[in-house]
Structure 1
Amino acid sequence: MKNNLSYDFSVDKKNNVIIIKREFAADQQLVWDAFTKREILDQWWAPKPWQAKTKSMDLKTGGHWLYAMVGPNGEEHWSRTSYTEVQPPKRFAGDDGFTDSEGNINKDMPQSKWDVTFTGQEERTLVEFHISYPDTRQLEDTIKMGFKEGITMTMNSLDELLPTLQQKKVSY
């Protein structure tokens, strides 16, 4: 099922942007749900052996998602996405940054703006990420932290989960 699915990861240092194009073998609504419903997100939004743990999520313009990446030894790294625009099931955008467990932004860590679009065609969906940074240092710090490797592993986890969601015809 994963045959011939496109994946492209590029870095535009001139404009401080990471662009990811990733195709999934599932319809647009299911892929949208996988990215926007906490019950599904917590199953795949972390590079193995890490796991995501959502503390709160309010998917609407002006809402937010506060979650932790939990490591195999129980360590937690918190992040918050503050949604600036939500257009189900086609697009969401938001401000993203590392935080404490209460959602207070850590200004010493990289911050970014995410714009994520979903384009379905039959039983495939292309997800495009445009992740922009205020300066080159924050972009480079993100890359040095292993972002490309981590997001690739995370997308592969969604690939593994989608057939199960399709079989169960899960409607969260």
Structure 2
Amino acid sequence: MERTNNMQFEIAADGKSVHISRQYAAPLEQVWKAWTEAPVLDEWWAPAPWKCSTKRMDFREGGEWLYSMNGPEGEKVWSHCAYGEIEPLSYFEAKDNFCDENGKPTGDMPSMNWRTEFSENEIGTRVENRIRTKSAADLSQLVDMGFREGFEMGQNNLEDWLAKNKQI
């Protein structure tokens, strides 16, 4: 499958936030489902060869998503996402942080505030991620860890999932 390779990744002048935008040739409802339902997220969220595994998810305002990213050598990295405001088929907000298997934040890694927006257009659906950290040093740490590359790999997985599960 040929990639659209249209992800835009722009770090703001203050160094604390990043705007990531990507277009998908899929209907809004399908893209929304891919971002908000645990069984689907588990199929694409992690960059290969890593796999995502949801421990629990309650996608609603005040709800959470606790998941692990599982590496090929048995590594397991936990993350907790606390959902804030949600406007179905439009956007959701969340605070994401690294944590232990029970969702307790670990102090050694930065947290991120996300706003993920969805808009339908003539091509399909555009997803805009606006991610903010507390400091430029926090964002720099995430970028140095390979956040951009890992996120893009996950988005490529999403593109593959959307193509395989195409709605007509």
Task: List, as ranges, runs of 4+ consecutive aligned residues in structure 1 with deviation greater than 6 Å.
Answer: none
SS of residue in 2 equivalent to 1:156:
helix
Distance 1:25 1:79 in 2: 29
Task: Decide whether the 8 Å contact of 1:13 with 1:136 is kept in 2.
Answer: no
**Which residue pairs with 1:105 in the alignment?**
105
2:43 pairs with 1:59: no
Q: CA deviation at 1:7?
A: 2.1
Aligned length: 168
Task: Decide whether the 8 Å contact of 2:51 with 2:71 is kept in 1.
Answer: yes
| Structure 2 counterpart of 1:37, one-letter code | E
Matched ranges for 1:113-132 at <5 A: 113-132=113-132
| Structure 1 counterpart of 2:79, one-letter code | S
Matched ranges for 1:23-102 at <5 A: 23-102=23-102
| Structure 2 counterpart of 1:92, one-letter code | F
Distance 2:145 2:13 in 1: 16
For each residue in 1:43-97, what CA deviation from the matched residue of structure 2 results, as whole angstroms up to 9, or x when unmatched? 0001000000000000001000000000011210000110011111110101110
Q: CA deviation at 1:21?
A: 0.5
Distance 1:23 1:128 in 2: 9
Distance 2:71 2:46 in 1: 9
SS of residue in 2 equivalent to 1:107:
coil
Task: Decide whether the 8 Å contact of 1:2 with 1:25 is kept in 2.
Answer: no
| Structure 2 counterpart of 1:139, one-letter code | L
For normalisation by structure 2, the TM-score amounts to 0.94
Distance 1:123 1:29 in 2: 14
Extract unaligned runs of 5+ from structure 2: none
Aligned residues with identical type, % of pairs: 38
Distance 1:82 1:7 in 2: 25
Distance 2:33 2:118 in 1: 11
Q: CA deviation at 1:5?
A: 6.5
**Which residue pairs with 1:155 in the alignment?**
155
Q: CA deviation at 1:6?
A: 3.3
For normalisation by structure 1, the TM-score amounts to 0.92
SS of residue in 2 equivalent to 1:67:
strand
CA RMSD between the two structures: 1.6
Distance 2:102 2:13 in 1: 32
Task: Decide whether the 8 Å contact of 2:3 with 2:156 is kept in 1.
Answer: no
Distance 1:68 1:157 in 2: 17
**Which residue pairs with 1:138 in the alignment?**
138
